[in-house]
Amino acid sequence: MASRIETLKKEFLEYLEIEKGRSLKTVENYSRYLDRFFSFAEINSPNEITDDLVRRYRLWLNRQIVERSTGPESIKKKTQNYHLIALRVFLKYLGVREEESLSPDKIELAKTGDRNLDLISAEELGRLLEAPQGNDLKSLRDKAIFELLFSTGLRVSELCALSRYIDLKKDELSVRGKGDKVRLVFLSIRAKDALKKYINKRDDVDDALFVRILKQQTTNKQQSAILRLTSRSVERIIKYYAIAVGIDKKVTPHVIRHVFATDLLENGADLRSVQALLGHANIATTQIYTHVTDKHLREIHKAFHSKRRG
């Protein structure tokens, strides 16, 4: 028979999926983080979750060593916080259920310091956007991916979920993002042109906008097999072109999303508008970009400070 805590965890994950509308990937992550806590804690009831237990868990988590390509290292503070956030949300759920347990307010996150953004320069971005050349279906697809990412700042998961049946007479597109929230993004002329050329080249009827193009040898001719692109596939495509045009930085779909946001802010967009365009639930998430865009303050200081002193 399952313990009380196991039953509550199962019901909590179902609550996240059904009531809160969280994605299956998010639910899987919460399940994994909570499993790690319960494996350490070895408890059967929610009233066994105490301040002291959480303190010991945090010490244990901080001392865990994981193997990475660069060698063994401790779990990053950011990842530790994911574990603590999952526990805190679970405790909030227990409170709603009026289960006796630790208050979620007792869970404090570890300080991680300022987040560093991975960015590429405008010149590098230009080279990347121009990298796909040719009129074959693959080149047109890759060109459309790049232009759409930079025009909209889409998350790669949002890009991969798009349908090919887009009204290109409009300059806007509705996308469904995190938490199943719908927002508007806007298409540049270059993005619309790249999409139009790519879609017109397609000779299939698959609903997916961006598909894998696999050559299958048949007795008489080569045929294209249609499969929707995954996030990992898009990451590989971008990495391939970044290397091809000589960019020695790590370039991912999220880097292009960063560049989209900083480009807007550097050209005068307000933070609230950028928050809406990115689909951030909390403006604090968007504020990470101000550290990059505030670099123009150095030039203002240099131009206007202490002029009277020579």
Q: Where are the alpha helices (DSSP H) in the chain?
A: 4-18, 24-41, 51-62, 77-96, 122-129, 137-152, 156-160, 189-201, 231-244, 253-266, 271-278, 283-286, 290-293, 296-304
The answer to whether residue 258 is catalytic is no
The answer to whether residue 15 is catalytic is no
Beta bridge pairs of residue 35: none
Closest CA to 145 of 129, 157, 161, 133: 129
Closest CA to 156 of 178, 128, 123, 188: 178
Joined tokens for residue 159: 């890009």
| CA–CA separation, 80 and 71 (whole Å) | 19
The answer to whether residue 257 is catalytic is yes
| CA–CA separation, 26 and 24 (whole Å) | 5
Joined tokens for residue 46: 């929610």
Contacts 24+ apart (CB under 8 A), 242-248: 242/128, 242/131, 244/131, 245/124, 245/127, 245/128, 245/130, 245/131, 246/127, 247/120, 247/124, 247/127, 247/128
CA angle in degrees (0–180, nearest 5) for 58-114-286: 110
Decide: helix, strand or coil at residue 261: helix
Choosing from 58, 138, 190, 254, the catalytic residue is 254
The answer to whether residue 272 is catalytic is no
The answer to whether residue 289 is catalytic is yes
Choosing from 22, 155, 192, 258, the catalytic residue is 155
Choosing from 92, 178, 183, 190, the catalytic residue is 178
Decide: helix, strand or coil at residue 74: strand
Joined tokens for residue 67: 């193997």
Joined tokens for residue 254: 């999220």
CA distances from 62 to 50, 87, 112 (A): 18, 16, 13
Beta bridge pairs of residue 226: 213
Choosing from 22, 88, 257, 258, the catalytic residue is 257
**Whether 148 contacts 249, CB under 8 Å:** no
Q: Which residues are the active-site residues?
A: 155, 178, 254, 257, 280, 289
